[in-house]
Amino acid sequence: MTRSLGYLNGRFIQLSENVLPLEERGLQFSDSVYEVVKVYNGVPFTLPEHIERLNHSATSILLDLPIPSEKIMEIAKDGISQLNMDHGTVYIQITRGNADRNHEFPENSQENIIMIWKTGLAGLSGTISEGKSLITVPDERWSNCFIKSTCLLPNVIAKEKAVRNGFYEALFIRSGEIKECSSMNIFLVKDGIIKTPPADQSILNGITRQKVIEVAKRAGLVVLEVKLSMDDVEVSDEVFITSTTKEVVPVTKVDQFSIGDGKPGETYKLIHQLFSEAIEEECRAVIELQSD
């Protein structure tokens, strides 16, 4: 059974509490940024990396963090402890605050910091035996997708189109290039070489994406960050997608094209193993440090 806890501006709360006014800029303008951190064995995995990206996203929209990054991490860990969380997620959002509805930034508003903890999400998953499917959609998002903003309506619509058509995820195509999925990054494998779109302004540089590249290179695999098209997808041996909550997921169909032999490949299985080991290594190191 899922258990949850909330936080707003210094106070732990229940999610059912009514706490924000109607004139809140995150609500009215999506004038806010966020992160989602997955928790394994009570440890928020790659928490510093997530907070660093939160800070970068905030800076990119001229938004100040209301408290230092170190304090945000302390609160995240405090909520995990209060909820006695084993596995789950921590959602962190910073908004520009409460103010009269005007496009220009308010002069004296105070930023809102919101957190939500939820248990119930499974811990480290095993390899997936049946691959998932992607449907391609035009990329109608704004140009600054590297910012993890709450302005996600194009992503939500793309995901819904995928689900309504019997697909697992939607793959954005912009000017002939594949970019990323509605909430996941994409990797292709051809002749043992792993390829993924470059982390420019047009995609979100996922934390799991970064970790996969790191562990793959550490294991001696070749990883290239290059521009890719559907031609590359159609001739690829393997495709897999990544995210914080879903980890590493194999893809065996894109639109009507079957990938490889139609089954999750050996590179996917190796990447999943390497990523799992990285999670276990970080969690063990954090737990040992806490016990000293």
How far apart (Å, rounded) are the C-alpha atoms in residues 248 and 124? 10
Q: Which residue, 68, 91, 119, sits at the end of a domain?
A: 119
**Close Cβ partners of 259 (under 8 Å, ≥ 6 residues apart):** 131, 233, 236, 237, 238, 239, 251, 252, 253
Share the mean pLDDT of the chain.
96
Beta-bridge partner residues of 94: 33, 113
Total number of domains in the chain: 2
pLDDT at 140 over 90: yes
pTM of the model: 0.96
Residue with tokens 């997708």: 145
What is the tens place of the pLDDT at every residue in 228-254? 999 999 999 999 999 999 999 999 999
Strands of the chain (E only): list them: 4-8, 11-13, 32-40, 43-44, 88-95, 112-119, 132-138, 169-174, 177-181, 185-190, 193-196, 223-225, 238-243, 247-254, 257-258
How far apart (Å, rounded) are the C-alpha atoms in residues 232 and 190? 9
Q: Which of 119-128, 142-151, 171-180, 187-196 has the lowest mean pLDDT?
A: 119-128
Same domain, 76 and 158: no
- pLDDT for the residue numbered 126: 82
pLDDT at 124 over 80: no
Same domain, 224 and 267: yes
- pLDDT for the residue numbered 120: 85
Same domain, 105 and 136: no
- pLDDT for the residue numbered 121: 77
DSSP category for residue 42: T
**CATH code, domain with 269:** 3.20.10.10
How far apart (Å, rounded) are the C-alpha atoms in residues 242 and 207? 9
What angle (nearest 5°) sits at the alpha carbon of residue 241, between those of residues 237 and 245? 155
- Which of the two residues, 187 and 120, has the higher pLDDT score? 187
What is the tens place of the pLDDT at every residue in 152-185? 999 999 999 999 999 999 999 999 999 999 999 9
Residues in the chain: 292
Q: Which residue, 86, 119, 152, sits at the end of a domain?
A: 119
- pLDDT for the residue numbered 119: 95
Q: Which residue, 97, 119, 141, sits at the end of a domain?
A: 119
**Close Cβ partners of 160 (under 8 Å, ≥ 6 residues apart):** none
Same domain, 273 and 138: yes
Same domain, 96 and 172: no
pLDDT at 149 over 80: yes
For 234, other C-beta atoms within 10 Å of its C-beta total 12
Q: Confirm if 54 and 92 have CB atoms less than 8 A apart.
A: yes
Same domain, 169 and 269: yes
Considering only CA atoms, give the Rg of the chain: 20
How far apart (Å, rounded) are the C-alpha atoms in residues 202 and 242? 17
- pLDDT for the residue numbered 173: 98
Same domain, 101 and 207: no
Query: What would the mean pLDDT of 211-239 be, rounded to a whole number?
Result: 98
Query: What would the mean pLDDT of 263-278 be, rounded to a whole number?
Result: 96
Residue 94 domain-assigned (yes or no): yes
Query: What would the mean pLDDT of 2-18 be, rounded to a whole number?
Result: 95
Same domain, 99 and 205: no
Quick one: what percent of the chain has pLDDT higher than 70? 99
Residue 285 domain-assigned (yes or no): no
Domain membership of residue 216 as a residue range: 132-279
Which H or E run contains 269?
helix 266-291
- pLDDT for the residue numbered 106: 94
Same domain, 173 and 249: yes
Beta-bridge partner residues of 247: 243
Residue 292 domain-assigned (yes or no): no
Same domain, 106 and 142: no
- pLDDT for the residue numbered 292: 65
- Which of the two residues, 122 and 41, has the higher pLDDT score? 41
How far apart (Å, rounded) are the C-alpha atoms in residues 53 and 220? 27
- pLDDT for the residue numbered 233: 97
**Which residues are catalytic, by number?**
34, 148, 180, 204
What is the tens place of the pLDDT at every residue in 33-91? 999 999 999 999 999 999 999 999 999 999 999 999 999 999 999 999 999 999 999 99
Residue 175 domain-assigned (yes or no): yes
Same domain, 162 and 275: yes
Same domain, 56 and 175: no
How far apart (Å, rounded) are the C-alpha atoms in residues 17 and 30? 21
**CATH code, domain with 72:** 3.30.470.10
- pLDDT for the residue numbered 127: 85
DSSP category for residue 106: P
